[in-house]
Amino acid sequence: MRNIMTIFGKEMRLIFSGPVAYVVLASFLLLTGFFFFDLFANYSQILSYASMYQNPAMLEQVNVNQMILTPLMHNISILLMLIVPILTARLYAEEKSAGTDELLLTSPIRVSEIISGKLLAGLAFYLLLLMLTIHFPAVLFKYANPDLGTALSGYLGLFLMGAAFISFGLFVSTLTDSQVVAAISSFALLLIFWILGWLAESQSGLVGEVLGYLSMTQHFEHFGEGLISVVDLVYYLSFIALFWFLATRAVESTRWR
């Protein structure tokens, strides 16, 4: 445990000593801020129409959960796919290109501890990123009446999905010594996990079901709608564990070549 914390502390120190973290935070907040403003403006416009025409059926449909919260979560989830690979690219590739993996791998510490420390650091940074978006739902709670459950399950879904992205990105980062290669390939591969959802819709029967299960999108949609199911939890947790495991194997195997 002490070793994991040593690696964790080192990673946190390194993440915040370079410009990448701040650029990622700033661009993420800029974009989510724009999404929120756009959704909010749209919502209030429809609301004012509805009250202007005194149309109860229309008012019924104007729902702050469905019109702001759920789409906001959805937009953030897409943004994550672009941002997480940039964040995770350096996690291991940088050690390789700087030769510092030679220090880590000749120290009396296990590969699984190295990978765990790095994964935790990625998660901690990501948690910070998510916390900085909390004022968007807070504004809604102040001026409207959204569903707390939906907001919480949405954040849980975002956290799990981001964690899955980070675990995956870390794995890709162990395969190369180039951060650019790591970032581009994890982005492309995450996109494929995303697209599986579209494929699933066009396929019928078992194939469609399997593809649907593998797709990141379908599991996340449930959280965004306020639905927490064991299937989705198991999906994300096993996804995180699988790529954590593959990352440790990849580091150990590169030594055998």
Partner 1 sequence: MIKVTNLTKQYGEFTAVDDISFSVGKGKILGFLGPNGAGKTTTMRILTGFMPATAGQIEIAGFDIFRQPMEARRHIGYLPEHPPLYRELTVVEYLRLVSKLKGLPRKQIGERVDIVASQCGLTDVIDNRIGVLSKGYKQRVGLAQALVNDPPVLVLDEPTIGLDPNQIKEIRELIRSLAGEHTIILSTHILPEVTMTCEDVVIINKGRVVTASTLEELTNQTNDQPRIYLRLARPTENTEKKLRETPNVLKVTRGVEPDTFTVVGEPGADPSADIGVLVLQHDWGLLEMRQQRESLEEIFVRLTNE
Binding interface with partner 1 (CB under 8 A)? 2-3, 6, 10, 13-14, 17-18, 98-110, 255-257
Could you give the count of Cα atoms lying within 13 Å of 124 in the half-sphere of its Cβ? 16
Identity of the residue numbered 131: M
Please identify, using beta-carbon distances, which residue of 5 and 134 lies nearer to partner 1: 5
CB of 22 to partner 1, least distance (A): 14
Residues 6+ apart with CB under 8 A from 67: 39, 42, 43, 46
Amino acid type, 6: T
Contacts for 8 with CB less than 8 Å, ≥ 6 apart: 117, 118, 120, 121, 124
Q: How far is the CB of 118 from partner 1 (least distance, A)?
A: 14
Give least dist CB 199 to partner 1, A: 39
Q: Is the Cβ of residue 16 or residue 141 nearer to partner 1 in the bound state?
A: 16
* Per-residue exposure over 40-55, b if at least 16 CB sit within 10 Å of its own CB, e if not: beebeeebeebeeeee
Nearest approach, Cβ of 86 to partner 1 (angstroms)? 17
- Element holding 16 (H helix, E strand): none
CB of 31 within 8 A of CB of 111? no
96 versus 219: smaller Cβ distance to partner 1: 96
Whichever of 46 and 105 has its CB closer to partner 1, that residue is 105
* Beta carbon of residue 246, minimum distance to partner 1 (angstroms, whole number): 20
Listing DSSP states for 118-131 in one string gives HHHHHHHHHHHHHH
Helix ranges restricted to H, the chain: 2-15, 19-52, 56-61, 64, 70-98, 101-105, 111-131, 135-143, 148-173, 179-202, 205-214, 216-224, 230-256
Task: Output 87 or 140, the one with its CB closest to partner 1.
Answer: 87
Q: Minimum distance from CB of 102 to partner 1 (Å)?
A: 5
Q: Can you read off the two tokens belonging to residue 125? A: 């940074």
CB closer to partner 1, 211 vs 251? 251
Q: In one letter, which amino acid is 187? A: F
CB of 18 to partner 1, least distance (A): 6
Q: Which is nearer to partner 1, 101 or 232 (CB)?
A: 101
